[in-house]
Amino acid sequence: MRPTGRSFLALVAAAAVGRIAVAQLDVQCSGLTATLSTHSNNSVSYSCVDGGGSKEMPMQSDFQVNVTASSLVLDLQGGSTIVSLNITSASGGRTLVSNQTELDFTSLSNMYSLGFEGVTFHQDVVELLLSSTVRYLHIVNSSLTDLSILSNNLALTSIDLADTSFTRIPKVLYEREYAAEMNITVDLLMVNGTTKLSKEQQDVLMSNVQEEYDAASCQNDTQSPSGTSTISCSRERDSSSSSSYAIPAGRNVSSDSGSTAYANAGDNGSSRVSTGVLVAIIVVVVVIAVVLAFFILRMYFRRKAASANTHNNEATATLMSKGDATADKGSFISNDELLRNFRLPQSDVSLVKSMGTGRLWMGEYNNSKVVVKRVESEVTDSYVTKALMAQARTFATISHPNITNLVGVTWLAGTDFAVVTEFMDKGNLKTVLTNTDVDLDVSTKLQMCCDIALALAYLHETEQNLCAKQLSSRKVLVNKAMDCKLSLFECVPSSAKLGGPSTAATYSYGMGEVAWLSPEVITRSSPMDARKNNIYAFGVLVSEIFTRVSPYQSLVEELGNTMSDVELVKRVRRQDPLVPHENRREFLEAPASVRQMVERCLSYAPMSRPTAKDLVEVLHNAKEEVATNSI
């Protein structure tokens, strides 16, 4: 799982220039135990035992607590103002103690980010209770025995455990299975002891942190007949790996908008910010160099291995011969009647180049370009392969001129399973819209909107009750004829996790995704209808097609990617009017019926939004109106 969101360095720099306002409370109880309290009247205070000092101040949305004390007791009695709370040791590691067996933060009803830095936790197991608004959890450069999250209605999108040591593999990594989009940063080499896990717990651990587990060369030392294993990931590390806030090699620096208060603010912290920025810059440069070296070496050895198994040293990866496919792999397709009808000859497909991150590749089939989504053979968990196969079964039932076609399924060399789909020459719609060399008149824009509406109408009316997983301009593809097609890989059953009260959110601040989310997804309110989510995103998409700029572009230019997302969430909670097109001149040139349609799509009430069929009818009529007026 790859960390996403705004980097720690960017946040420090932003705080340094004053773009992020962070309120600061310095707990001055050197050598004593301090109590940090929040109150229902939206104030924060601390007091030292034996009358060593105290202070109270109003709550702010972003709150940084710098602790100088031998230990800290949390007494959280409420408060609706705090959005981001970060607790940091001001002078080396300190013990965080609670007068409760659980650390309960649910009284902070609007908090979306919780962070600890440089803290040693006293409890044998740190058990967190978080409200359903918390999306970011950061425990960095700290020390724990174990970590568990007791809350069930989690909204978390990011768990950052960078440079934090554990006595055993923390429960938070295997007590529940997270969505694939969850961002988890952890170095399992920081686990100093062994951990006993059941077979079910191991499976969940693999699903959540497969890459981190493999990178740490974790071993199943013993295994009982019941399936319980003793796992050990710790090994001797060089001195660089234990330096303060070291970044594990091969990993990205992970943080996000929720960690805004890690940058120390105020007069007393200004020198630390300057030093921190300098150190962070040096660390980032070193990490980038290490990451580049890692991937270059990885690509080199993969290509070397691939070339050794091919004739004539061909540069592209070719399909396995029938004899190379194991009986187990062969049974995947041969025993599936639906997929067997889509099986491609193994010698007719090759990989050409990677299409960014993930498992998507541009390939060739019968001398034509195709898109290949593959599962690599080193993925030992068959769950991943079976999940892609389940997707392929769904894809096999889809046929519409405005959805990319399923070409077939097969195996590639070094690959467990691959799905091959239609290639679109001009890439995604966002790329086309931002290309100033592409001329788009009103008629062409209306046709683009109509293409996408037709795809949605088809999906929403299928027997499988399908929808688009995350509709946006990046998920719509364009060919040479300027036809728009929804990516086949975005077509999922409406019951799939799209965010909601019972699922983990699948977005991150600062990534350009929040603008596409319906209000009920952001506020996690019921009822949740995936098709109505699609209609809301369609309203945003029509706005982008006509303006040819990103949603809320002026807001992004003013506040930046991350803070503009935070502002959008605040607007949704206030139920302010949602205007992604910002009433730009280009949008106002659209037919009145289309502008009214967009307004209905962006309604706070899901039942007030039109159906996909309604969209098609409005757009067809608008096309005829424009054609008539142009005569």
In a domain, 488, yes or no: yes
**Strands ordered across the beta sheet of 103-104:** 103-104, 126-129, 147-149
Task: Report the DSSP beta bridge partners of residue 422.
Answer: 370
Domain end point (choices 422, 437, 466): 422
Q: What is the mean pLDDT of residues 312-321?
A: 34
Which of 62-76, 168-182, 454-468, 567-581 has the lowest average pLDDT?
A: 62-76
Percentage of the chain lying above the pLDDT 70 cut: 74
pLDDT at 435 over 70: yes
Q: Identity (one letter) of the amino acid at 454? A: L
In a domain, 309, yes or no: no
pLDDT at 246 over 80: no
Q: Is 421 exposed, middle or buried (0-12, 13-18, 19+ CB in 10 A)?
A: buried
In a domain, 374, yes or no: yes
In degrees rounded to 5, what are phi and psi of residue 148?
A: -140, 145
Q: Are residues 65 and 211 in the same domain?
A: yes
Q: What is the mean pLDDT of residues 315-320?
A: 36
Q: Are residues 155 and 57 in the same domain?
A: yes
CATH code at 552?
A: 1.10.510.10
Q: Are residues 127 and 194 in the same domain?
A: yes
Q: Are residues 365 and 511 in the same domain?
A: no
Task: Report the DSSP beta bridge partners of residue 84.
Answer: 62, 113
Note the pLDDT of residue 491: 93
Task: Give the C-alpha distances (Å, rounded to integers) separating 23 from 20, 44, 155, 265, 521.
Answer: 10, 11, 25, 7, 29
Note the pLDDT of residue 507: 54
Cβ atoms of residues 124 and 98 within 8 Å = no
Count of structural domains, the chain: 3
Task: Give the C-alpha distances (Å, rounded to integers) separating 442 from 24, 150, 448, 623.
Answer: 52, 53, 10, 9
3-class DSSP string for 549-589: CCCCHHHHHHHCHHHHHHHHHHHHHHCCCCCCCCCCHHHHC
pLDDT at 131 over 50: yes
Q: Are residues 161 and 19 in the same domain?
A: yes
In a domain, 3, yes or no: no
Which of 251-255, 356-360, 488-492, 525-529 has the lowest average pLDDT?
A: 251-255
Helix, strand, or coil (residue 619):
helix
Burial profile 178-188: b = 16 or more Cβ within 10 angstroms, e = fewer: bbebbbbbbbb
DSSP H helices, 435-512, are 442-461
Q: What is the mean pLDDT of residues 584-610?
A: 95
3-class DSSP string for 209-258: HHHHHHHCCCEEEEECCCCCEEEECCCCCCHHHHCCCCCCCCCCCCCCHH
Helix, strand, or coil (residue 428):
strand
Domain end point (choices 422, 447, 477): 422
Cis peptide bond upstream of 527, omega within 30:
yes
Q: Is 602 exposed, middle or buried (0-12, 13-18, 19+ CB in 10 A)?
A: buried
Summarize pLDDT for 267-302 with one digit per residue, the tens: 344 444 456 667 778 878 887 887 777 767 666 555
CATH code at 386?
A: 3.30.200.20
In a domain, 304, yes or no: no
DSSP H helices, 396-529, are 429-434, 442-461, 519-523
Which of 211-220, 315-324, 445-454 has the highest mean predicted lDDT (pLDDT)?
A: 445-454
Q: Are residues 357 and 490 in the same domain?
A: no
Summarize pLDDT for 509-568 with one digit per residue, the tens: 788 889 999 999 988 876 788 999 999 999 999 999 999 999 999 999 999 988 999 999
In a domain, 136, yes or no: yes
pLDDT at 178 over 80: yes
pLDDT at 406 over 50: yes
Residues 453 and 612: their CA atoms lie apart, in Å, by 6
- Number of other CB atoms surrounding residue 132 within 10 Å: 16
Sorting pLDDT into bands at 50, 70 and 90, what band is 101?
low
Task: Give the C-alpha distances (Å, rounded to integers) separating 284 from 7, 187, 246, 254, 291.
Answer: 10, 17, 10, 11, 10
Q: Are residues 484 and 550 in the same domain?
A: yes
Q: Are residues 277 and 347 in the same domain?
A: no
Residues 106 and 102: their CA atoms lie apart, in Å, by 11
In a domain, 311, yes or no: no
pLDDT at 410 over 90: no
Note the pLDDT of residue 342: 86
Which residue, chain included where needed, has tokens 């609007």?
110
Which of 347-356, 372-381, 509-518 has the highest mean predicted lDDT (pLDDT)?
A: 509-518
The residue segments making up the domain with residue 335 are: 317-422
In a domain, 308, yes or no: no
Strand ranges (DSSP E) for 102-238? 103-104, 113-117, 119-121, 126-129, 136-140, 143-144, 147-149, 158-160, 165-166, 183-185, 194-197, 219-223, 229-232
Residues 182 and 188: their CA atoms lie apart, in Å, by 17
Domain end point (choices 266, 297, 328): 297
Residues 374 and 451: their CA atoms lie apart, in Å, by 28
Q: Are residues 349 and 467 in the same domain?
A: no
Q: Are residues 375 and 455 in the same domain?
A: no
Percentage of the chain lying above the pLDDT 90 cut: 31
Per the model's pLDDT, the better-predicted residue between 291 and 569 turns out to be 569
Q: Are residues 280 and 375 in the same domain?
A: no
Q: Are residues 154 and 34 in the same domain?
A: yes
- Number of other CB atoms surrounding residue 446 within 10 Å: 24
